[in-house]
Amino acid sequence: MLTLLACQQLPASSSPYYFQPDSLRVELLKGNWVHNVNDSQPELSWVIIGDKHYAQQTAYQIQVLQVESSGFEDVIWDSAKQLSRKSNAVSYAGDKLLPNHTYKWRVKVWLKSDTRKTIESVWSRPQFFTTSERLDNSASQHDIVTSDIAPQYIKQLPNGRYLIDFGKVAFGYLELGFISDKDGQVTVHLAERGTEDGALSEFGKRSSVRFYSVPLTVHEKFDVYAVHPPRDKRNTKAEKAIAIPGKYGRITPFRFVEIEAEDVNISDIQAKQIALHYPFDPYASSFTSSDDTLNAIWDLSKYSMKATSFAGIYVDGDRERIPYEADGYINQLSHYLVDDEYSLARYSHEYLVEHPTWPTEWKQHSIIMAWTDWMYTGDTESLKNNYPILKEQKLLSFLTNEQGLLSSRPNGTHQTMKDIVDWPPVERDGYELKNINTVINAFYYLNLKQMAQMAKAIDETADAAKFEQRAADLYAVFNKTFLNQETGLYIDGVDSSHSAAHANILPLAVGLVPEANKAKVIAFIKSKNMAVSVYFAQYLMEALYNNDQADYAFSLLTSKQKRSWYNMIRVGSTISLEAWDDEFKPNQDWNHAWGSVPGNVVGRYILGVTPITPGFDQLSIAPQLSDLTQVAGKVPTIKGSVEVKATQVVGKSVSLHLTIPNNVVANVSLPFAKNKSVKSVHINGVVVDFDEVSGLLAEDVFNAGEYAIEVLYRSH
């Protein structure tokens, strides 16, 4: 195994300022000044910038200072020089911070070049932060912010009304100004759906697509009005509904506004959509390709992350405004792939640990969220704090039988949970729910593997060994119990003779299918097309992309059938839907983040960027291009952005350009060339060995920098 170095010139200046650390975070919160830090001994992170030849950190020094109201600053902790590559989740080790105080911190680093010369940077610009009034080590979060969105157009309709289109749905309220010829009243209609002919208000009786008519008292001459929807008891008064800060008033998702003025004449209309959302960096990620459908679907998924963050926690849309674990996991994963923002996911995860919901699988998703948080941040603090409840309550081992199989209904129906498989029920592909279900046990297998890894990370070595053994035992009993030897497919559960798509997708996705059985399982899954909901499509995509079925996965990803992400755009939504179409769930939300699976599939599989080790110290780049002739994208990580560009002449060549951030090591593979007739592979102009069977390069370890990879195929 060789270590590849980027071909790049040294900077003209070797000034230490060139290597100043950047993008400081305290408790995952980024920004020059952040508030609400809940930890008295917070974790600190930074990004290494500068020339790629000085790519690897060898040491760091941190200083934390207390800032008095008088402006006086006092160093309360100095780490001294620490020989370490660690640049994220470094724990403050001074005396505990005080509540309701202001602090700042800074860091400098020592970097080693590819010639083994070392350079010392200057101190970073400081990050200021204030601690909360009550410090309890729970996840810290930013305050909700607002954006003022200007309308795409304002026009008068033939019926005399005025129509305003803001282009996209956002959660918020309307700021409206106009001149009225006298005192009186107008009616303002706020709607999620509409056309150039007006806002749409006619839906099915069960519809959750929003339309509100708001009477507004107006004054003579010019005035400005805040227009809020009426109260919806279900999403504002329900016990588990997340409250919106009172200073914003009541909010609703809307795009279209229609103004009905019968008794007054209005003119000089001005309008703003005051959109609430969590802080969001639109430049943290990018993606474009030769497929316009894919581009539009990715844009939809990315915007969904911003638009649905209005509550300061991942919620299931506007109908309930309640957090759910499976919803939260897909939201978390897609959020990570479109913005380098990790605090909202952690806050949502920790909330759900304490406020679980009823489906069996949703509890299992708490472990998946914990594992994903750890892998993408490299921070074990939340894991340590929540490990006991993950082990004792979320793993559900107390519901296993003597064979080690899990059942949420050992005595009929468990009081606090119920197997769900997929939602809504019409999306279950005829799944036969039994006392011991295949899907539940496939998730249990995944949880055991993840718990073993997390236990090792926090030095619970005895537990790790137990979890590993249980996973190995479950692998054997799972295949003995659920694999139908005659058909080669997995049945839905004990005493079932039916094989639903879900019972085969999830075992394939989590690594339970023996190699000899994969061909039959894959063929069966492909015969089912999109036989799952927008939620379970996450695992369908993972099962396919992880098992050399990129072309078929891509065909589903870009499909224009009714059961497709494109259909969300076609019906007029600008945020991902709760279901493929109103046909499958008449009361669905048109603003549901769990429908945003392409937001993570594009970054993880088409661009191919995933962490190998927690916190991206080591990452994988394995693009799966299918028939895309052009791809260009930026994938955020806590260490900095990975950029992937590709130009493909199908059957002839692929030109791949990679940009790898500092202080990481990347493993690069070429799955798009697997089992192809490859003539040669060049990296920065040098021919290298390539294994067509595995898709692996002989030289697969890449340091930070830019790389040009050229793949040439043999002509036929």
The DSSP result for 578-644, as a single string, is SSS-TTT-TT--S--GGG-THHHHIIIIIS-EEESSGGGSEEEE----TT-SEEEEEE--TT--EEE
Q: pTM for this structure?
A: 0.95
Residues 162 and 114 grouped into a single domain:
no
Size (the chain), residues: 716
Residues 267 and 151 grouped into a single domain:
yes
* Per-residue pLDDT band at 652 (split at 50, 70, 90): very high
Is position 139 within any domain?
no
Enter the tokens of residue 294: 């894919």
When the pLDDT of each residue in the chain is averaged and rounded to a whole number, the result is 94
* Per-residue pLDDT band at 408 (split at 50, 70, 90): confident
Give residue-wise pLDDT tens across range 315-334.
999 999 999 999 999 999 99
Residues 154 and 271 grouped into a single domain:
yes
Give residue-wise pLDDT tens across range 490-512.
999 999 999 999 999 999 999 99
pLDDT at 13 over 50: no
Enter the tokens of residue 263: 């008794």
149 strand-pairing partners: 273
pLDDT at 378 over 90: yes
pLDDT at 427 over 70: yes
Within 8 A by CB and 6+ apart from 323, the residues are 242, 313, 314, 315, 316, 348, 351, 352, 355, 357
Residues 155 and 212 grouped into a single domain:
yes
What one-letter code names the amino acid at 636? P
Say if CB 214 and CB 280 are below 8 A apart.
no
End-to-end CA distance of the chain: 32
Of 277, 309, 324, the residue that ends a domain is 277
Residues 119 and 22 grouped into a single domain:
yes
pLDDT at 113 over 90: no
Find the CATH number of the domain harbouring 270.
2.60.120.260
Is position 545 within any domain?
no
pLDDT at 164 over 80: yes
* Per-residue pLDDT band at 417 (split at 50, 70, 90): confident
Residues 117 and 188 grouped into a single domain:
no
Domain count, the chain: 3
pLDDT at 414 over 60: no
Of 102, 131, 160, the residue that ends a domain is 131
CA angle 434/522/648 to nearest 5° reads 140
Give residue-wise pLDDT tens across range 132-145.
999 999 999 999 99
pLDDT at 715 over 50: yes
Within 8 A by CB and 6+ apart from 624, the residues are 545, 550, 554, 605, 606, 608, 671, 672
Of 77, 106, 131, the residue that ends a domain is 131
Residues 182 and 258 grouped into a single domain:
yes
Find the CATH number of the domain harbouring 104.
2.60.40.10
If you average pLDDT over residues 516-537, what whole number do you get? 98
Place of tokens 């200057």: 122
Residues 256 and 157 grouped into a single domain:
yes
Question: What's the confidence (pLDDT) of residue 12?
Answer: 39
Find the CATH number of the domain harbouring 661.
2.60.420.10
Dihedral sign for Cα atoms in the order 111, 112, 113, 119: positive
Is position 109 within any domain?
yes
Cα separation, 163 vs 181, in Å, equals: 19
Question: What's the confidence (pLDDT) of residue 239?
Answer: 76
Question: What's the confidence (pLDDT) of residue 474?
Answer: 98
Is position 518 within any domain?
no
Residues 149 and 272 grouped into a single domain:
yes
Within 8 A by CB and 6+ apart from 633, the residues are 285, 286, 287, 288, 602, 603, 606, 607, 643, 644, 645
Question: What's the confidence (pLDDT) of residue 236?
Answer: 82
* Per-residue pLDDT band at 116 (split at 50, 70, 90): confident
If you average pLDDT over residues 367-388, what whole number do you get? 98
Cα separation, 419 vs 439, in Å, equals: 9
Helix segments in 511-597, DSSP class H = 518-527, 537-545, 550-557, 565-570
Is position 151 within any domain?
yes
Task: Work out the percent of the chain whose per-residue pLDDT is above 70.
Answer: 96
Residues 628 and 698 grouped into a single domain:
yes
State the residue range of the domain holding 80: 3-131
If you average pLDDT over residues 683-709, what whole number do you get? 91
* Per-residue pLDDT band at 615 (split at 50, 70, 90): very high
Give residue-wise pLDDT tens across range 449-486.
999 999 999 999 999 999 999 999 999 999 999 999 99
Is position 22 within any domain?
yes
Cα separation, 286 vs 302, in Å, equals: 9
What one-letter code names the amino acid at 707? Y
What one-letter code names the amino acid at 402? E
Say if CB 166 and CB 255 are below 8 A apart.
yes
Is position 290 within any domain?
no
Q: Which helix (H) or strand (E) holds 482?
A: helix 461-482
Question: What's the confidence (pLDDT) of residue 7?
Answer: 46
Give the residue among 318, 34, 356 at the shortest CA–CA distance from 170. 318
Is position 86 within any domain?
yes
Residue 590 φ/ψ, nearest 5 degrees? -95, 25
266 strand-pairing partners: 180
Give residue-wise pLDDT tens across range 552-604.
999 999 999 999 999 999 999 999 999 999 999 999 999 999 999 999 999 99
Residues 668 and 708 grouped into a single domain:
yes
Helix segments in 254-380, DSSP class H = 292-307, 325-338, 343-354, 360-377
> Regarding predicted confidence, which is higher, 674 or 51?
674
Residues 181 and 85 grouped into a single domain:
no
Q: At what angle do helices 461-482 and 501-510 cross, to 10 degrees?
A: 140
Question: What's the confidence (pLDDT) of residue 415?
Answer: 61
Give the residue among 252, 316, 306, 314 at the shortest CA–CA distance from 279. 306
